[in-house]
């Protein structure tokens, strides 16, 4: 018998979906749901006027905001407000908290100190994943953002008409469509995807990507 988490994962598997819409905040509450076992990937839903108090973590947190806005703060007065589509890498070994006035849904990725992080990403700075890679004529440009033994985050830019041939991933994966439009072929079916939408691959699921317009995406892959 499947539990609620397994049912929710099944709902999104092999489909275009929205992380924000699938994880709506519950009034007055903070809700978290893990993705991909012990990969360190978690969906967070914060109701309006909720606060995850500042605590010390021995690892970075990468926040990718899907809906609303969230303020990342430290006890020394540091504060950065993130809106939908924005990201931040938190500091380690200092108290860090998250709070929101209007409510927020975001994906949090735990990144240990042993992880290999791209030098373009600096802790404490707000950025957008799509800004990390440029488009190139008739080419696909990709960048490894972070990589450890449990997960990998890659950002890719596809010129119109370019794509990836059918292949399978070693673990579950989430696609974040960042800009433009594409078609994802998954297990024999085509799915149109646009900026702001997500797609969920199963481990071993055969898939392909074809950019119908210029297209940027982030791929958050669990490694099993």
Mean pLDDT of the chain: 93
Distance separating the N- and C-terminal Cα atoms of the chain: 24
pLDDT digits (tens, 9 = 90+) for 53-91: 999 999 999 999 999 999 999 999 999 999 999 999 999
Sequential DSSP letters for 68-93:
EEEEEEETTS-EEEEETT-EEE--SS
Q: How far is residue 61's CA from residue 88's CA, in Å, rounded to a whole number? A: 8
The pLDDT assigned to 2 comes to: 31
Q: How far is residue 15's CA from residue 182's CA, in Å, rounded to a whole number? A: 14
Is 199 a residue whose pLDDT tops 70? yes
| DSSP code for 219 | E
Would you list the domain boundaries of the chain?
Answer: 4-129, 130-222
pLDDT digits (tens, 9 = 90+) for 138-195: 999 999 999 999 999 999 999 999 999 999 988 999 999 999 999 999 999 999 999 9
Per CATH, the homologous superfamily of domain 130-222 is Jelly Rolls (2.60.120.10)
CATH number, domain 4-129, options 2.60.120.10, 2.60.120.380, 3.40.50.720, 3.30.70.1230: 2.60.120.10
Query: 209 and 201 in contact (C-beta within 8 Å)?
Result: no
- Listed in sequence order, the residues at least 6 apart from 108 whose beta carbon sits closer than 8 Å to its beta carbon are 41, 42, 43, 44, 61, 62, 63, 64
**Topology alike, domains 4-129 and 130-222:** yes
Residue among 121, 195, 109 nearest 152 (CA): 109
Of the chain, the percentage scoring pLDDT greater than 70 comes to 96
The pLDDT assigned to 4 comes to: 37
The pLDDT assigned to 8 comes to: 52
Query: 208 and 164 in contact (C-beta within 8 Å)?
Result: yes
Is 124 a residue whose pLDDT tops 80? yes
The pLDDT assigned to 10 comes to: 67
The pLDDT assigned to 113 comes to: 84
């Amino acid at each position: 018998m499947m539990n609620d988490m397994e049912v929710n994962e099944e709902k999104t598997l092999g489909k275009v979906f929205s992380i924000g819409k699938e994880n709506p905040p519950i009034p007055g509450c903070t809700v978290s749901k893990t993705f991909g076992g012990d990969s360190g990937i978690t969906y967070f839903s914060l109701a309006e006027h909720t606060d995850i108090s500042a605590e010390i973590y021995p690892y970075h947190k990468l926040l990718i905001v899907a809906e609303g806005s969230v303020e990342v703060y430290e006890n020394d007065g540091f504060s950065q407000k993130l809106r939908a589509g924005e990201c931040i890498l938190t500091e380690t070994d200092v108290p860090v908290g998250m709070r929101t006035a209007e409510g927020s849904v975001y994906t949090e990725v735990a990144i240990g100190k042993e992880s290999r992080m791209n030098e373009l990403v600096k802790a404490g700075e707000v950025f957008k994943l799509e800004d990390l890679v440029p488009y190139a004529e008739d080419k696909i440009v990709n960048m490894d953002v972070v990589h450890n033994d449990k997960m990998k985050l890659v950002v890719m830019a596809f010129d119109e008409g370019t794509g990836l041939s059918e292949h399978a991933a070693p673990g579950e994966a989430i696609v974040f469509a960042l800009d433009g439009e594409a078609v994802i072929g998954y297990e024999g079916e085509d799915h149109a995807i646009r900026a702001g939408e997500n797609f969920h691959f199963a481990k071993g699921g055969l898939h392909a990507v074809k950019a119908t317009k210029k297209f940027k995406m982030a791929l958050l892959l669990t490694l099993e």
